[in-house]
């Protein structure tokens, strides 16, 4: 019985090479998750607050909010140039070596941060960390989409988003444990949990030496034989297997079409093609809209400032806030796992996103109503048993905000980044998408503490703002998001650009690639 359940969860054809790809590139999403989980609780630790004067008496409320947001957002600021560096390095040295370089950069930044003696060194260390972490957002979704068979591409790419929650979960509990066992006056209270990031980076670096270079990258570099062999090792098939040959034909066809339009293969030519082609401009507008609607819908702000936000709903005491925040991370991890394994490839992209946004929207509206009503009750001193019960409900719905985000936007945004651009400009486009992503993350990280102030939006107004953006996101998904589940990677970028998919024999082969791959893998008894 347990064996059949396991077989249903793990798609047929999940090979050892794909497992290492998942361990290295799939789990690289935990880099950002670890930072978010750790820094969200680190800035609430008494030892950190005292060491870097986050609540200094000489600071106004606005200055305190700005200093807090500077600390939390500095990794996102570093991730912007990191995303650009990721694109350049991938084009020059390949995806595998870029992964190894970003792990080392992440570790160097972490060492600078952990040895900080002043707020300036905190900013510098977290900026360097961002240079490494930002590269992962470019290369990981693209690599996973390029090496996965069509039937499991959704699951493989969603592992990146899922691992972000694994990192958040580990980060939350690491800080919570340190707060219990290490004194508030001891800097080790925040330094020891941060060391988890160094361990994780070392794990990714080690796993990268068991991975294959992306076959599509090798094709771009005019190495089709090596690409074919890489596919064979990744899928555990013979290089001449029909599944691999269909995939190679589609890659060659797209490269030939793109090269016939532009003979110059420099980095600048990729940038020029990205911003001067009408289809690519349409893809960029889609990415800009998606990133704005997803990032400003609220859940990332909830993650980054979880302890403070749980305090708004009546959770008192530092340890209690850290504990409910840790449970928040666990719930999102479970939701993301269910989405990656059971929903995204079976229900499809659109239905999964509808479910996620709807859950998120309902939860945000409840908390918005609670904060609106509770603020009036507090000002009049009329706190009743029913209002306390409503506060418990608001905490539960905070968890549902995380569930909705994990199932919806957080999974879809990485799939779109990986699927939307054609091969020639895929890394360049992914770099741009990641820059837009982190630009919005910087905005939300910087804006949220100020938005919550009574002199600005107030907590209730902030949650109503998030609710409105979530509703607009649902309308956007219904009208403009295409369904790409089960389609070949060369086919999906046509759909995002609103272009007709040619009904040639090659395309027909592409549509049946997933069936061919599964049949081939089953006949070769892969992974046994």
The burial class, CB within 10 Å (0-12 / 13-18 / 19+), for 218 is buried
Model confidence at 155, pLDDT cuts 50, 70, 90, reads confident
DSSP state of 394: H
390 belongs to a structural domain:
yes
Q: Residue 288: how many CB atoms within 10 A of its CB?
A: 15
Domain with residue 389: its CATH number is 1.20.1250.20
CB 137 within 8 A of CB 79: yes
Q: Can you tell me the distance from the alpha carbon of 331 to that of 285, in angstroms, rounded to the nearest whole number?
A: 33
Element (H, E) at 23: helix 16-24
Q: Indicate the pTM of the whole model.
A: 0.77
Query: How many domains does the chain contain in total?
Result: 1
232 belongs to a structural domain:
no
465 belongs to a structural domain:
yes
Model confidence at 11, pLDDT cuts 50, 70, 90, reads low
Q: Residue 63: how many CB atoms within 10 A of its CB?
A: 11
Q: How high is the pLDDT of residue 45? A: 81
Of 353, 344, 438, residue with least CA distance to 404: 353
279 belongs to a structural domain:
yes
6 belongs to a structural domain:
no
Helix (H, G, I), strand (E, B) or coil at 475: helix
479 belongs to a structural domain:
yes
**Considering the chain, what is the average pLDDT of its residues?**
83
Task: Give Cβ neighbours of residue 342 (< 8 Å, ≥ 6 apart).
Answer: 9
Task: Give Cβ neighbours of residue 208 (< 8 Å, ≥ 6 apart).
Answer: 24, 96, 99, 100, 103
Residues 63-67, mean pLDDT to the nearest whole number = 82
Q: How high is the pLDDT of residue 312? A: 80
Residue 311 domain boundaries: 22-220+269-513
Task: Give Cβ neighbours of residue 155 (< 8 Å, ≥ 6 apart).
Answer: 11, 148, 340, 341, 344, 345
78 belongs to a structural domain:
yes
- Residue with more model confidence, 262 or 318: 318
Scored b (16 or more CB within 10 A) or e, 424-451 reads bbbbbbbbbbbbbbbbbbbebbbbbbbb
Tell how many helices (H) and how many strands (E) occur in the chain: 25, 0
**Number of residues that this document lists for the chain:** 528
Per-residue pLDDT reduced to its tens digit, 29-61: 999 889 988 887 788 788 888 888 888 778 787
Retrieve residue 215's tokens.
């076959």
493 belongs to a structural domain:
yes
């Amino acid at each position: 019985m347990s064996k059949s359940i396991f077989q249903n969860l793990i798609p047929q054809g999940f090979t050892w090479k794909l497992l290492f790809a998942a361990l290295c590139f799939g789990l690289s999403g935990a880099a950002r998750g670890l930072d978010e989980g750790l820094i969200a609780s680190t800035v609430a630790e008494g030892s950190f607050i005292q060491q870097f004067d986050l609540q200094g008496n000489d600071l106004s409320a606005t200055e305190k909010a700005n200093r807090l947001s500077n600390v939390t957002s500095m990794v996102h600021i570093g991730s912007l140039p990191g995303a650009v560096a990721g694109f350049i390095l991938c084009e020059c040295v390949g995806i595998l070596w870029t992964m190894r370089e970003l792990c080392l950069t992440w570790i160097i930044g972490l060492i600078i941060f952990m040895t900080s003696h002043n707020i300036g060194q905190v900013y510098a260390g977290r900026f360097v960390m961002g240079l490494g972490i930002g590269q992962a957002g470019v290369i990981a979704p693209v690599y996973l989409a390029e090496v996965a068979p069509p039937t499991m591409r959704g699951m493989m790419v969603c592992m990146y988003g899922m691992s972000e929650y694994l990192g958040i979960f580990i980060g939350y509990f690491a800080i919570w444990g340190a707060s219990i066992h290490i004194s508030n006056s001891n800097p080790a209270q925040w330094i020891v949990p941060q060391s988890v990031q160094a361990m994780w980076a070392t794990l990714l670096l080690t796993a990268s030496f068991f991975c294959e270079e992306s076959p599509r990258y090798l094709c771009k570099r005019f190495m089709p034989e090596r690409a074919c062999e890489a596919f064979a090792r990744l899928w555990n098939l013979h290089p001449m297997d029909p599944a691999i040959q269909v995939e190679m034909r589609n890659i060659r066809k797209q490269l030939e079409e793109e090269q016939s339009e532009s003979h110059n293969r420099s980095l600048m030519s990729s940038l020029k093609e990205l911003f001067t082609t009408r289809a690519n401009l349409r893809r960029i507008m889609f990415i800009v809209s998606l990133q704005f609607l997803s990032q400003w819908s609220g859940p990332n702000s909830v993650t980054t400032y979880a302890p403070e936000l749980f305090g708004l709903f009546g959770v008192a005491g530092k340890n209690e806030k850290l504990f409910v925040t840790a449970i928040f991370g666990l719930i999102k991890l479970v939701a993301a796992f269910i989405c990656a394994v059971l929903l995204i490839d079976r229900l499809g992209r659109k239905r999964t996103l509808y479910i996620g946004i709807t859950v998120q929207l309902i939860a945000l509206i409840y908390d918005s109503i609670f904060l609106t009503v509770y603020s009036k009750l507090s000002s009049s001193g009329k706190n009743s048993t029913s209002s306390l019960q409503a506060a418990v409900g608001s905490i539960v719905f905070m968890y549902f905000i995380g569930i909705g985000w994990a199932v919806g936007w957080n999974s879809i945004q990485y799939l779109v980044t990986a699927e939307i651009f054609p091969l020639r400009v895929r890394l360049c486009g992914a770099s741009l998408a990641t820059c837009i992503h982190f630009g919005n993350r910087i905005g939300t990280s910087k804006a949220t503490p100020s938005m919550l102030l009574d002199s600005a939006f107030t907590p209730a107004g902030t949650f109503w703002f998030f609710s409105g953006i979530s509703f607009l996101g649902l309308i956007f998904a219904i009208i403009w998001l295409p369904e790409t589940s089960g389609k070949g990677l060369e086919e999906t970028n046509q759909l995002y650009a609103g272009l007709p998919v040619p009904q040639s024999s090659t395309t027909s082969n592409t549509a049946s690639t997933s069936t061919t791959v599964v049949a081939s893998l089953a006949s070769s008894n892969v992974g046994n």
